[in-house]
Each structure stands twice: as C-alpha cells, then as structure tokens.
Chain A
Amino acid sequence: MTKQALTIDHEACWGCRTCEVACKQEMNAPDGVRLISVLEEWPRSSDGKLDFQFHVRMCRHCEEPPCAEACPEGAISKRADGIVVMDFDRCVGCKECIDACPYEAIDYDMSRGIAQKCNLCHHRVDKGLLPACADNVCLAHCIYFGDPAEMEQKILEKKKMRRGWGETIPKAIAYSKGS
C-alpha cells in the first residue's frame, strides 16, 4: 500500500499559524486542545550566531508509535498506509499515551476527559481529500502530503531553488547568509 505522510519544510515556515486554524475549522477541537501548533525556536548556528525559526508540533505518525504501545485500551493503531489513528471513542483518558509521546504531540481534552491527537484527517484522506492543514492553506506552501520519500525529494529541490539566483550577482558582492 502507498505510504501517506505529512512532511513539513520547516525552513520555509513563516509562523503564520494558518495550519492551526485550518485544523480547528476541520476538527473543532476545544479551546486548549491543539492537534497542530507552531512553536518558536532559537537554535544557534555552528558559528554561535542565534537563529530564529518555527517548528510545527504535531503527531509524527511514528514507524513504531510508542503511544500505541502505551495505550491499555488498544485505542491507537497504525494503518497500512502509515497513518496512526487514535479512536477517541475508545479512549478512557488514562493519559498513558501523553506520557509516552516523545514529541509532546498529544493533548488532553478536559471537556471530554480524553486524549486527542492528529489523525491526519484520515476521514478526509479516505474520501480522496487532503488533510485540512495540507490543503493549500499555508502561505509558505511548506506542508506536503503524500509518499514521504517523494515529498522529501521535493523539499530538497525547493531548498536548492531558494538559493537559486546566486550566479546572477557579481562575485564581489555575493554574500552568504548572516555575513
């Protein structure tokens, strides 16, 4: 079966957070429950300079999902296409999955007393639609959905292209980033 995954080109993300609201519109998760969220990061580059970028926090749909292993109710399972689905109806709210997730990608919904995470809009995917956040809402066009290897390749090409016009600039004033 074809693998389906959501891949984010973090370098391109502007932090506009439209993906978060597209998710809200689709899933109507209650206040405080964020199935996708955009966080600020302050990594230092190799020369010690501070950088500023965004990181999108959401379920990674792991190869061997620790949340599925941790769930005593068997409410989380990985499908053949790679999507890790949490069955909200079977969740009893024990929070084991929340503790098990290394990416802090599972939230607790106090209003329903259950855990919630991104199910990659499998209800849309199964009908031939794209996940809400990946359906061309992102102004950076940095959210990709499809075969993961293919998407990685696409992102690599994009990165190359972003540094593209270099050769048209006279050598004397070609600058590297941050110089």
Chain B
Amino acid sequence: MGEHWFWWLLTAAVVVWYSTVVIYVAFRGLFDIRNMLEHLGRKQRQDQP
C-alpha cells in the first residue's frame, strides 16, 4: 500500500463495491423488469376499446 494508499484504497473499494452491487442489482433488477412489464400490460389492456 505504502505512500500511494489513496489509490490502493480506491482500487480496493472499486473491486469490492462493484462485485457486491452487481449481484444486488442483478437480483433486484429482475423484479423491476417484472413489475414494469406488468404495469405496461395493464395500461395497454385499459387503453384498448
């Protein structure tokens, strides 16, 4: 780590944060997609004469 501790910490933070977030977003994003398509489908049915 030495005198360049700022870049070492930032690199470590990037790897840890990104690895964690990708799993969380992948999981929660699937629910967002399902809800979005459900809402759009419902809107479409309501708009039909």
Instruction: Say if A and B assemble together.
Output: no
- Residues in B lying within 8 Å of A, measured CB to CB: none
Instruction: Please report A residues at the B interface, Cβ cutoff 8 Å.
Output: none
